[in-house]
């Protein structure tokens, strides 16, 4: 990736000469500060008739940063379809004829399944040890009386979520089995153009794998034309990614300033945060601790032992992708940056990175799987319920399966948590509707989403380096190009 720092030594007082990840980090810091500043201003100017949320929404600076942030997000997303299509088609076309094609697929999926399972079990262990939803008095924090109020706010939020996450739990029927089946239904796109319009990546990936496979079997004269066409699209998409990345520091700043200012204002006006304050902070602590141990501990050991790479160097190579994931809270929006990091900074070959990373962005969500488990059990604890081993195993299983179907967009995992809570309620006899506790999770969702998305994206990055190593490549062997 082209960085302004490449030819000159960095000057501390001239951020434009810094390396890209330092620039993004500065943007991130300034974004958090600006978000807090905007929220602080709105709160101090607020009155009975003019609430802080309204002041914030109408403030020209807030409108400006929102527009800038939305534009940056749109710029990242506009590259996704041509990039994913062309990269997977080319990757499959180049490896389809080779021996070991199936082996690579199995390695990739095996790595994803194992790391997700480890993440969930880690989350399960910590939520059972810290027990964030259990009060010191032993009384349930959520009661039947409080539940009705929750369900009112829950309905509106639920509709919004179902729309964004594309996992319509109502339409797909009532049983857990049909909900899980629904995830598999998404594998076959009935109309590839519809999938492209709706950014349905799972459908696009399956279509591209089949297309690339049959493309590789074309007679030479057609093969050259097809390959040239997709290669052209791929290179153009990478050029566009480079351009968008140049704006990443300012894009991240604006994105965070707008989303966090909303969040800060909402948090300070939310009575529930006062009511459940301690439990919520314990919950956030449990999630962040589990994600940190997974990302810096477990994944480092896995990368050192199985991929034989320096974990620190691995983290450094993917830092622009991690910071983009953290700022956007969207795996989909980070695909292009992650792909660039894998190829240009970590030295993973194009044919492997192009297959493993877009696939991972859709089916591999370590952070989300972990979060689903911790969040669902937190709600269960808040209702004062104790789950036995078999019931907890059910939570692990559903978290693993649903994390495959969760879309790589902000807040998508809340729908999966709903599925878990529904299923646990049924296991418990159906008299207690645990799903009514879901709004509690909305309070801190954005900051926790930022953290879990970074872990999701890192899992895909590690997958690419691991598979490259196992396929005989030497990723991360040279210095990281800046």
Binding site for ligand ASP (CB under 6 A): 329-331, 365, 368, 406, 408-413, 449, 452-453, 456
How many angstroms separate the CA atoms of 354 and 341, rounded?
12
Q: In this complex, which beta carbon is closest to ligand ASP, that of residue 1 or of residue 454?
A: 454
Residues 6+ apart with CB under 8 A from 105: none
Q: In this complex, which beta carbon is closest to ligand ASP, that of residue 94 or of residue 186?
A: 186
Tokens coding 14 = 């001239």
CB burial of residue 236 (10 Å; 0-12, 13-18, 19+): middle
Q: How far is CA 390 from CA 24, 183, 394, 437, in A?
A: 45, 23, 6, 22
Name the CA radius of gyration of the chain, rounded: 23
CA 104 to chain centre: 24
Q: Closest approach of Cβ 327 to ligand ASP, in Å?
A: 12
Q: In this complex, which beta carbon is closest to ligand ASP, that of residue 233 or of residue 266?
A: 266
Q: Closest approach of Cβ 460 to ligand ASP, in Å?
A: 10
Q: In this complex, which beta carbon is closest to ligand ASP, that of residue 120 or of residue 432?
A: 120
Q: In this complex, which beta carbon is closest to ligand ASP, that of residue 31 or of residue 408?
A: 408
Question: Smallest Cα–Cα separation from 174: which of 438, 435, 439, 441?
Answer: 435
Q: In this complex, which beta carbon is closest to ligand ASP, that of residue 279 or of residue 370?
A: 370
- Contact yes or no for 348/468 (Cβ under 8 A): yes
Q: Closest approach of Cβ 371 to ligand ASP, in Å?
A: 6
CB atoms within 10 A of CB 386: 9
Q: In this complex, which beta carbon is closest to ligand ASP, that of residue 10 or of residue 447?
A: 447
Q: Closest approach of Cβ 345 to ligand ASP, in Å?
A: 21
CB burial of residue 277 (10 Å; 0-12, 13-18, 19+): exposed
According to DSSP, residue 100 is labeled T
Q: In this complex, which beta carbon is closest to ligand ASP, that of residue 167 or of residue 265?
A: 167
Q: In this complex, which beta carbon is closest to ligand ASP, that of residue 112 or of residue 211?
A: 112
Question: Smallest Cα–Cα separation from 92: which of 175, 213, 200, 174?
Answer: 213
Tokens coding 165 = 């996450």
- Contact yes or no for 482/6 (Cβ under 8 A): yes
Q: Closest approach of Cβ 363 to ligand ASP, in Å?
A: 11
Residues 6+ apart with CB under 8 A from 472: none
Tokens coding 110 = 């095996």
How many angstroms separate the CA atoms of 81 and 197, rounded?
9
């Amino acid at each position: 990736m082209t960085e302004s720092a490449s030819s000159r030594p960095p000057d501390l007082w001239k951020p434009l000469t810094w390396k890209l990840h330092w620039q993004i980090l500065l943007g991130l810091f300034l974004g958090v500060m600006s978000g807090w500043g905007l929220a602080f201003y709105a709160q101090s100017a607020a009155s009975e008739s003019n609430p802080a949320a309204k002041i914030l929404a109408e403030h020209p600076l807030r409108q400006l940063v929102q527009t800038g942030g939305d534009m940056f997000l749109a710029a990242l997303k506009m590259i996704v379809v041509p990039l994913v299509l062309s990269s997977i088609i080319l990757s499959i076309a180049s490896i389809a004829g080779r021996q070991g094609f199936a082996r690579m697929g199995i390695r990739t999926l095996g790595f994803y399944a194992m790391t997700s399972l480890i993440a969930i079990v880690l989350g399960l262990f910590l939520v059972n040890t810290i027990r964030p939803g259990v009060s010191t008095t032993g009384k349930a924090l959520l009661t039947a009386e409080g539940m009705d109020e929750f369900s009112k706010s829950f309905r509106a939020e639920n509709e919004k979520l179902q729309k964004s996450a594309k996992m319509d739990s109502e339409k797909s029927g009532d049983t857990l089995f049909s909900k899980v089946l629904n995830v598999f239904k998404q594998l076959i796109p009935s109309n590839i153009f519809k999938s492209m319009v709706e950014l349905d990546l799972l459908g696009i990936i399956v279509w591209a794998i089949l297309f690339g496979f049959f493309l590789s079997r074309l007679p030479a004269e057609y093969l050259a034309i097809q390959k040239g066409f997709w290669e052209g699209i791929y290179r153009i998409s990478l050029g566009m990614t480079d351009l968008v990345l140049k704006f990443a520091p300012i894009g991240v700043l604006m994105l965070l300033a707008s989303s966090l200012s909303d969040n800060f204002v909402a948090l300070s006006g939310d009575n529930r945060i006062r009511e459940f304050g301690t439990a919520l902070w314990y919950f956030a602590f449990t999630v962040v601790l589990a994600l940190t141990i997974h990302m810096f501990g477990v994944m480092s050991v896995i990368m050192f032992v199985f991929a034989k790479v320096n974990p620190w160097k691995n983290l450094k190579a993917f830092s622009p992708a991690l910071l983009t994931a953290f700022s956007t809270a969207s795996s989909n929006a980070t695909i292009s940056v992650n792909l660039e990091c894998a190829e240009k900074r970590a030295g993973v070959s194009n044919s492997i990175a192009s297959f493993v990373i877009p696939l991972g962005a859709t089916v591999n969500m370590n952070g989300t799987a972990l979060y689903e488990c911790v969040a669902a059990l937190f709600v269960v604890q808040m209702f004062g319920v104790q789950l036995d081993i078999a019931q907890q195993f059910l939570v692990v299983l559903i978290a693993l399966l649903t994390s495959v179907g969760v879309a790589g967009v902000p807040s998508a995992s809340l729908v999966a948590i709903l599925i878990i809570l529904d299923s646990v309620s049924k296991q418990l006899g159906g008299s207690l509707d645990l799903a009514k506790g879901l709004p509690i999770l909305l309070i801190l969702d954005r900051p926790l989403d930022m953290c879990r998305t970074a872990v999701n994206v890192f899992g895909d990055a590690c997958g690419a380096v691991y598979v490259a190593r196992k396929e005989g490549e030497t990723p991360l062997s040279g210095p990281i190009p800046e």
